[in-house]
Every structure is written in structure tokens, then in C-alpha cells.
Amino acid sequence: MTADSTTIEVTEPEEHVAVVELSRPEAMNAYNEALLTDLVDALERLDGRDEIRALVLTGDGEAFCSGGDLEELPLSPEMDFADYERGLGLFQTVVRTLRTIKTPVVAAVNGYALGAGCDTALACDFRIASESAVMGETFIDVGFVPGDGGAYLLPRLVGEQRAKELIFTGRKLEGEELVEWDLARDVVADDRLREEAVQFASTLAEQPPIALGESKRLVNESFDVDLDQAMQDAMRAQRICSQTEDHQEAVQAFNENREPEFEGN
């Protein structure tokens, strides 16, 4: 994200928590190349700041992200494969970044989260939706497949059959359906969405950051490795955590019957 970026707004409403806001409200926060690259840059920069321990991702205005901007898509059928691959790769990099940064991300889904916007929400670690939120894998409506991770993420959240129904039909879910289908952990009033998301992010930020980051990695990778590999990965992660000052603080706080104060070391 450049210093003069107009596509992303970053605020820090609470200690250790940052809110990343997609800021193209006139286009319902649809992705163009600038927004895609600025979002990845913002996520990576915040992930590199030790004092930031949890993120909230949301959209400005009436939409979370309505998908790709059809007037400013960074790819077209006329492109040669290398250029098309680069354009679609910009979308995929958003999903990959959300999945691989150590900092937990809470999606505050306000309004439409469709197509690539839906996949962005799915790539976050948690989703809290507003009463007006609408999520849908709408690629089939334009003769596309979920090209940026939806076919990978959705079955892991809702199961194969439900994922196929949503992807094959383009069905949109809203309100309490989002909780019933396991796409959101909660649905809240529109005017309380950001407050609720920041509050939950603050709860995450109170945890020991190194252990939290390693836990995120282990869970995200668990579907792609066998049990033996998962055990080996957990052993390495546990060893890393055992040598942290936060682990020592947790033990000492337990012995002293007080709440621990984690510093991320």
C-alpha cells in the first residue's frame, strides 16, 4: 500500500488491533488491480508489525466486496496465457496472503460479498456478518469457476455437498442462513458490526502471538498433510512456543493465580 493509496484505509481502534477497510465504495469495493495490490501490501505490512496482533477486514459503504470490477479487470479472454495468469494471480495472492500471514483476520462482512469478495471473506480466519450481509459464489452466473480459492476453501468450511450446491447454483446466503451454513460465526445488527468485530479481534489479540500464529498455520495446513506430518509439524511448533517468554509468563501467572500479560516474545 503506497502512502497516497486511495483504495485502502487502515485504522487502529484498539491496542494491538488494526482495521483494514476496502475503500472503493462507489464501485461497491469491487476489485481492480490497485485494490488487489494495495490490500496485499497492507496485510503484509501489518503482519510485520509486532504490536499488531489481530486484524479486522471490512468494506467502506454498502458492500464488503462485490467481486471483480468488470470495467477494470486485470485480465481478459484476449490475453495470452502468461498475462491472464498474472491477472488472476493478483486475486489468488489476496487469498494466499490471508491464509499465510501469522496474524488472525476477522472479516466484518457488511453487505455484498460476492465472487472474489466471497472468497476473500472465506480466506479470513473468522467471519462476523451484518444483518444486511449477502455472500455468494456467483462465478457460475458469468460462466466462470471460483478461480481464486473458493473451490478449495468452501468445502473445508461447509462440506463437499453444500459447497457444490453453492458453487454450482450461485445461490446467495444472507442473514441467519450464513450461521446455519457455517459461513459466519455470528450475525449482528448493521450498526454494531464493526464494534463486534473489533471486540472479537481484541479477544484474539490478548492471546500469546507466537502460539496464535503457529496455531493458525497448523490448522490451515491440516487438510493438506497426513497425520504423521501433522504431528511432526505440531512438535516443531510446540518446541518454538516452549522457548518463548510468553510461555514462561503463562506458567508464572498460573502459579501466581493471576492473568498473564503476553508481550509476543
Task: Kindly write down the DSSP assignment for every residue of 169-227, as one continuous string.
Answer: H--EEETTHHHHTTS-SEEE-GGGHHHHHHHHHHHHHTS-HHHHHHHHHHHHHGGGS-H
Instruction: Tell me what pLDDT residue 74 has.
Output: 75
Q: Which residues of 192-228 are buried (b: 16+ CB within 10 A; e: fewer)?
A: ebbebbbbbbbebbbbbbbbbbbbbbbeeeeeeeeee
For the chain, residues classed under CATH 1.10.12 are: 209-255
Q: Write the CA distances from 205 to 23, 37, 52, 121, 258, integer angstroms.
A: 25, 26, 8, 20, 18
Instruction: Tell me what pLDDT residue 4 has.
Output: 57
Amino acid at 245: E
Instruction: Tell me what pLDDT residue 253 has.
Output: 83
Instruction: Tell me what pLDDT residue 72 has.
Output: 77
At the second CATH level, the architecture of 209-255 is Orthogonal Bundle (1.10)
Q: Cα dihedral sign for 60, 190, 42, 137?
A: negative
Q: Are 95 and 123 in contact (CB under 8 A)?
A: yes
Instruction: Report strand pairing: 105-109 vs 126-130.
Output: parallel
Task: With a cut of 50, list the residues of the chain below it in pLDDT.
Answer: 2-3
What is the homologous superfamily of the domain 8-205 according to CATH?
2-enoyl-CoA Hydratase; Chain A, domain 1 (3.90.226.10)
For the chain, residues classed under CATH 3.90.226.10 are: 8-205
CA gap 99, 94 in Å, rounded? 9
Q: What is the DSSP letter of 146?
A: -
Q: Output the furthest CA–CA distance in the chain (Å, rounded).
A: 67
Instruction: Tell me what pLDDT residue 2 has.
Output: 47
Instruction: Tell me what pLDDT residue 260 has.
Output: 86
pTM: 0.92
CA gap 73, 31 in Å, rounded? 8
